[in-house]
């Protein structure tokens, strides 16, 4: 009798685990749909960019803000949601293509400064606030009042039609 009860408990626990695993992917997909804000240092004389202008910054074809202020690109490390959005949606490249693109630019001396890697949202916020000309990408839920968030194609994060998700 005890063996039968133990077997029933194991089966019930396995069924409960299967139910949890069934719903786990939907929780992951919800976090992947959060808006990614484009934040810049307060001194950057821009309030919004088009996707084309943002792409030029991300791939290193635009190195200066108006007024000759150098752009400092701060990107999250690979496998972060923010980096995935930037690489896929903004640069329109795969991670491998993006890396090769930047290796080629640096090798050919097409750029003076390669993107700086940041390892956390807190590091992104801290560096963008301390570096004139800096631009970073941060999950909108982590955006603080200290950040200057840019409109992209006339839309802010959280608005319908915002392109960085």
User: Is 161 part of a structural domain of the chain?
Assistant: no
Q: Pairing between strand 72-76 and 134-139?
A: parallel
Compute the distance between CA of residue 121 and CA of residue 142 in angstroms, rounded to an integer. 7
For residues 126 and 6, which has the higher predicted lDDT (pLDDT)?
Answer: 126
Is 148 in the same domain as 90? Answer: yes
The answer to whether the CB of 91 falls within 8 A of the CB of 98 is: yes
User: Is 160 part of a structural domain of the chain?
Assistant: no
Whole domain around residue 21: which residue ranges? 1-32
Q: How far apart are the first and last CA of the chain?
A: 55
Is 144 in the same domain as 128? Answer: yes
Compute the distance between CA of residue 4 and CA of residue 45 in angstroms, rounded to an integer. 73
Q: Domain of 128: which CATH number?
A: 3.40.190.10
Is 104 in the same domain as 64? Answer: yes
Instruction: Return the C-alpha torsion angle 3, 7, 13, 16, nearest 10.
Output: -150
Q: Dump pLDDT digits (tens) for 39-95.
A: 999 999 999 999 999 999 999 999 999 999 999 999 999 999 999 999 999 999 999
User: Is 56 part of a structural domain of the chain?
Assistant: yes
Number of structural domains in the chain? 2
């Amino acid at each position: 009798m005890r063996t039968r009860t133990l077997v029933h408990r194991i089966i019930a626990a396995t069924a409960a685990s299967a139910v949890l695993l069934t719903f786990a992917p939907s929780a992951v997909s919800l976090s992947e749909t959060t808006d990614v804000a484009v934040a810049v240092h307060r001194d950057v004389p821009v309030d919004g960019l088009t996707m084309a202008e943002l792409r030029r910054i991300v791939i290193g074809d635009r190195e200066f803000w108006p007024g000759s202020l150098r752009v400092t690109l701060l990107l999250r490390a690979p496998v972060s949601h923010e980096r995935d959005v930037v690489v896929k949606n903004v640069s329109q490249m795969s991670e491998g293509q993006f890396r090769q693109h930047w290796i080629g630019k640096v090798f050919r001396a097409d750029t003076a400064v390669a993107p700086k890697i940041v390892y956390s949202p807190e590091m992104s916020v801290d560096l963008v606030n301390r570096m004139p000309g800096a631009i970073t990408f941060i999950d909108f839920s982590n955006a603080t009042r200290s950040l200057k968030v840019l409109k992209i194609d006339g839309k802010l994060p959280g608005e319908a039609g915002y392109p960085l998700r």
